[in-house]
Amino acid sequence: MRHSRHSRISSKYRFVFVAAALSASVVLGTQATAQARDAAPAGDSSAPLYQPEMVRALAASLGVDERTATDRLDRQDAQQKRLAELRAGGLVDDGAFFDASGDLTVNAENRADAARFERAGLDARLPARGESTLDRIKARLDASAAKSAPAGVVAWSVDLAADQVVVKVNSDRSAPAKAFLAAAAKHGSAVRIVRGEEKLAPQAAIYPGSKMTINNTTGWCSVGYGARDRSGNQYLVTAGHCVANLPTLRYDGTAFAKGTKTRYALGTRSVDMGIASVNSGHSITTSVGTWGNTNPIAVRGSSRAASGASLCKSGATTGWTCGTVGSYNVSVTYVDLNGGPDTVVTGLATSSVCTEGGDSGGAYISGNQAQGMTSGGPTNQRCTGGVNSRGSSYFQPLDDTLAHYGLTLNTN
């Protein structure tokens, strides 16, 4: 079952808004006493960098042992810090991504810069195009879609590793889709068309007994992250479609938050981010639940993980599932299951994390860094393998949302 705010991309593919019951990912403060605390106190030098639940989930997802999973997280963290230091020192790059083995590759602008990246222990290459050129191409396609939602075109995004813009297509029968693909063809080999994709819809669900209900209906979303403004007012950061009509949000029948702002509107070019003010007496905990594991994952910050990095998500429907980050700055066409207009949503990120209807708004986390909230995924996708479930999903990056609304993430 899906939320009434689904959008569609074409008759075959559908993103599902993953709006669900309160996600165990981040639990309301009223339930905090039921949550286990961190394995070791803050500041304890003997405390592990990653909590065992995160390592076990990642190991299962990758099909490796826990030592290998920990080593991968360590390497990812070290490589991203090294790149950040080089950037702070004035060295310019044109994008970076993790490959399948967990090595960070940096797009250098010239041979001299490539040599500097390599001397710092990072892989480097001289791409034919690079992120800046691909972003410009993708922006032109966004402009084309703004004229009329290209029904049948599932998504378009920058693939840094392939050095191309990838356009996923379900059907090219509609006039807007034909016009969009004609615009894409003008960019030659810089754009790759992938056909036979499943249509997408926002992943909101309508289930009896949902935990975070919307306006006393059976529509529900997963809880995302807690944040505060400069005055200390508390907010729930969520997917925009979960608060599209600024609803009252309820947990166990009790109102705990009220939709305040959203950038999602059916039939209008949108960004799937929104916030809800948290009522006095309630709070969002600073740990992400793992659905069946002992301890929640403490949230330490919101540093964006590079493309290819490992991450997991917590959602009320599918629980704890893991995968890797795909691309950022992704645009999709959501279909409306009630016959309403298509909605183009921009600014998303892709992942290989499996989600289903009801996971919308749920928390994505990489290591101990919060990444975003579930937005959508293929409608017919089923996550039957637990943490090992294979699939795909789209999430709204948290850092973009915090910056847009001027909020600070609540951390553990």
Q: How, if at all, do strands 225-228 and 234-238 pair?
A: antiparallel
Buried b (16+ CB within 10 A) or exposed e, 374-407: bbbbbbebebeebbbbebbbbbbbbbbbbeebeb
Catalytic residue among 94, 113, 272, 400: 272
Judge whether 360 counts as a catalytic residue: yes
Cβ–Cβ < 8 Å for 222, 241 = no
What span, in angstroms and rounded, lies between the C-alpha atoms of 10 and 150?
9
Identity at 307, one-letter amino acid code: S
Q: 400 catalytic, yes or no?
A: no
241 is catalytic: yes
Q: Is-contact 282 395, C-beta < 8 A?
A: no
Q: Distance between CA atoms of 200 and 13, rounded to whole angstroms?
A: 5
CA distance 401 to 374: 13
> Among the options 270, 314, 331, 360, which is catalytic?
360
Is residue 12 helix, strand or coil?
coil
Catalytic residue among 4, 25, 241, 375: 241
Closest-CA residue to 3 (of 320, 338, 257, 265): 338
Active site residues: 241, 272, 360
